[in-house]
A = this chain, B = another copy of it.
C-alpha cells in the first residue's frame, strides 16, 4: 500500500507549538492528561521504559490502518490525528479527532486487529505503547490498570456522546458542540479556549458530524452572522461562548 506523503510543513509556522520534544514521560508537559496520570515517579519510569518514540508522522501519513495487526496503543505527543473506518460501500466515517495527550488505538484490542484507521491531519508525533507490555505492567501496577480501564471507559462515554449528538441534534447544534469540545481540549492543554486553528478540513468535520461540507460551511456562515464566531478559513475565534453553548444545547 502506498503511503501518501504530500506534506508541506508550512503550518508548523502557525501552530503555537511550545513542545520541546523531551524524551520521557516524567518531564512531558502532557503527563497530567495522558497515561502517566496518577502514577508515582518510580512507576512513571517503568512506563516510560516500554514506550517507543518514533519519528514524526507527516501530514496524511497513516499511523495504522483498519485491519492491521494490533500491537500498540498510541499517545499523541504533538499534532492532531483523525480516526476513521471505511464503510462497506467504501465511504469513510470519521470516528474521532485526537489531540496531544490523548490516547488512540484502543479499538484494536478486541480482535487483535485495528478496527479503524488513523492518519495525521498535520505533522504529528506519537508515543507508541506496546500493548503486551502495558498489560504486564498493568497487572503489577493497580493504578495503571485502573487508569487504563478509565481511559477505555472514557472512550466509550465519548462515543456515546457522539451517538447522542448524531441522533438528536441539528446541524447547528452539532457544529457548535464540536467547537466547544475543541475549545475545552485546548484549555486542558493550557492553550486558548477561544482562538485556535482547526487542524481538520470541512470535509472531515462534516464527515465526523454526519453532515455534508456544504452544511458545515453554511452553519459557520450563520454563526458568523450571529457574531458568535469569527471564521477565517481554519482560524476560529469564539466571540460569544455562551451563545455557542446555548446553540449547542449540550453541556460539554
Q: B-contacting residues of A (Cβ < 8 Å)? A: 85, 87-89, 91, 93, 95, 106-111, 115-116, 135, 138-140, 142, 145-146, 148-157, 159-160, 162-164, 166-168, 207, 209-210, 249-251
Please indicate which of the listed interface residues A107, A138, A154, A160 has the most CB atoms of chain B within 10 Å of its own CB.
A160
Instruction: From known contacts A95-B163, A160-B159, infer whether A249 and B88 are also in contact, taking CB-CB under 8 Å.
Output: yes
Q: Using CB atoms, name the residue of chain B closest to A160.
A: B95
Q: Using CB atoms, name the residue of chain B closest to A155.
A: B156
A88 to B185, CA, bound (A): 21
A93 to B87, CA, bound (A): 24
Kindly list chain B residues whose C-beta atoms are within 8 Å of the C-beta of A207: 167
Instruction: From known contacts A109-B149, A152-B153, A153-B109, infer whether A160 and B85 are also in contact, taking CB-CB under 8 Å.
Output: yes
Q: Which residue from B88, B91, B153, B166 sits with its C-beta under 8 Å from A110?
A: B153
Kindly list chain B residues whose C-beta atoms are within 8 Å of the C-beta of A150: 109-111
Known: A109-B153, A110-B154. 8 other contacts (CB 8 A): A106-B152, A106-B153, A116-B160, A135-B145, A145-B145, A148-B149, A159-B163, A166-B210
Q: Could you say how many copies of this chain the assembly holds? A: 2
A107 to B164, CA, bound (A): 15
Q: Interface majority SS on A: helix, strand, loop or mixed? A: helix
Kindly list chain B residues whose C-beta atoms are within 8 Å of the C-beta of A95: 160, 163-164
Kindly list chain B residues whose C-beta atoms are within 8 Å of the C-beta of A109: 149-150, 152-153
Q: Using CB atoms, name the residue of chain B closest to A207.
A: B167
Kindly list chain B residues whose C-beta atoms are within 8 Å of the C-beta of A135: 142, 145-146, 149
